[in-house]
Chain A
């Protein structure tokens, strides 16, 4: 090219140093972005390598079917069932509270509340989200439990009922946020069609908006379940740290998370079987929450596609 030689010392010539530093910045940012991937990888490697060691010493049948979880006893048993039952009670009671309240809040936000009111309601939900869970645990143990003990005979000091009740409020915002977004995404034309057929607002909400937003609602519940299963401090403080294979909500139980807290506040040397058991509980917890999260994302993606 004839102009090349002229360009060689012209004002517009590329400076290799400049483009190099530009590229280095891009690469540096990319490396920062991979840290999140490395974190996930590290979580998986840590949890599963320790669990792998655990299962070399403890048969899977023991893990799945033994009736007790007592790794620190002289005659240790490793039945995850006891922790799953506790987690189930705690989470279940939480969801029984959170689902109706959260969905009602979502309906209120998307269908009833005038703008200023909805800002206020969202503020209250943010407030609930912002309360540290150790505070909720304190409240469950020292305020809710004494009241419930006077109502429910045989209720233990540490029990999944009061813990679950308070958990319900702690996860309520997750349900109301996601579900109200889904309901607001339902096209106005659908609502108007139902009104034009003579439906009352209640009928529009329950028969048109709700079914149309069902996948978003399911996603909201799945996300809240994931949060509940992973919720630690409320369970550790108010539900108990004593693994018990029972479905009686008056008993003291342990969730997977509260067991981890109990084990961690004790002292277990690295590499001991009890420490590996701790990681196997962590792996189980991780698998549960991840499954719920991925399911929720799948469901959300599906309804996004439908309306976009």
Chain B
């Protein structure tokens, strides 16, 4: 066989095969990324899709009227129309509407929504009562496909509507065993409380640890041990932190299933994340700047507190926001330290019982009622929007305040 460079040899079947594999591979490597993107897109679209369902509802006497959008522009006007339609005299309606307590009770018993489609026509205000009986709940596609059939089959007192689960009042309603009136208010407040308490505990510990390791720690076995330990702690599954919290905070310290126990647990969980971010930020500060401060007669702590820390605040803030995002989405450890309980009230302080967004979503998913899947979807959209807001904030802080050395 002749060996040497020729046009023939470069077109040999073997080389053509190699070339083909090479080109196929170059295309194939992007496939996983496309798949990942597709998964995220499908996940979001599917969840949005699940926030709307078609319902057949059997209404009670006090509800069931619908009003066209032209008659009322906000929920308050709808309530007025509803009360008038119930046959109450004008002064009585005015009195009720001026009384916040009466309105609260109305809000607990009823839900006012702008629905995209009802049997009476598109875009109508519907007042539903929690005593209404859900006859059936169909997914959006199936419901629309069978719209006419369902409409024809309606009995007296029954209504057909396209129910948007994620509406304005979803955020302000309390939890309920009835999906139609279940809302996120308690979980939102719980998340806010828990996040605040967790950050108050974990930021000083995490940042302090980082400052010690970067600025003070001598290079010895103890320091190495702390570093290895931090890395391992970051790899411990979050549910194990839940067991720790259950044994130490809920039972050992007798805090019970309270916000305090949950915040301590979550603080330990996200502390390594904050430490790692803070250490990176501290390392980015050049030594020359520290020397400049020392040369001006600053003590070690003055150098750190007046020069180094201010320069790291954008970096640390970004890390803290990302850790907060992680904490907000975390459900597993909280199931063990009390969040799984049915909680009907907004927390009043650290010793209150609580629930949080992802746990509320989990409880809805595991409830055996198809409408709760719609409620869960609505909750997920709220959770994802919250996270998107936090990520955007982190991105903005990093962009806006980053120190260019």
Contact = CB atoms under 8 A, between A and B. Distances in A.
A and B touch in the complex (CB under 8 A): yes
A134 interface: yes
Contact of B331 (A107, A130, A134): A134
B216 interface: yes
Interface in B366-405: 366, 373, 376-377, 380, 383-384, 387, 391
Interface stretch (B37-45, B82-90, B148-156, B343-351): B37-45
A294 B232 CA distance: 8
A132 B239 contact: no
Interface string A72-105: 0000000000000000000000000000111011
B36 A35 contact: no
Interface stretch (A38-46, A63-71, A210-218): A38-46
B18 interface: yes
Give the residue among A125, A226, A232, A257 with the most B Cβ atoms within 10 A.
A232
B244 A104 contact: no
A128 interface: yes
B330 interface: yes
Contact of B243 (A21, A46, A130, A138): A46
Interface in A260-308: 260-261, 264-265, 270, 278-279, 282, 285-286, 289-290, 293-294, 297
A170 to B, nearest CB: 10
Contact of A132 (B26, B35, B209, B331): B331
A145 interface: no
Q: How large is the interface on A (under 10, 10 to 19, 20 to 34, 35 or more residues)?
A: 35 or more
Interface in B206-256: 208-209, 211-213, 216-217, 225-226, 228-233, 235-244, 246-248, 251
Contacts of A29: 208-209, 211-212, 216
A204 B260 CA distance: 56
A128 B37 CA distance: 9
Interface string B151-177: 000000000000000000000000000
Contacts of B18: 200, 202-203
Interface string B18-51: 1101100110111111011101101100110010
B248 A237 contact: no
Contacts of A285: 237, 239-240
Interface string A213-254: 000000000010010011111001100000000000000000
Given A34-B226, A232-B332, A143 B33 contact: no
Q: How large is the interface on B (under 10, 10 to 19, 20 to 34, 35 or more residues)?
A: 35 or more
Contacts of B239: 230, 232, 257, 260-261, 282, 285
Interface stretch (B57-65, B113-121, B357-365): B357-365
Contacts of B47: 135, 138-139
B329 A133 contact: yes
A237 B365 CA distance: 8
A112 B272 CA distance: 33
B275 interface: yes
A255 to B, nearest CB: 10
Given A102-B32, A121-B33, 14 more contacts: A28-B208, A35-B268, A39-B268, A40-B229, A47-B243, A112-B26, A130-B391, A134-B331, A135-B384, A142-B365, A232-B332, A236-B362, A264-B340, A285-B240
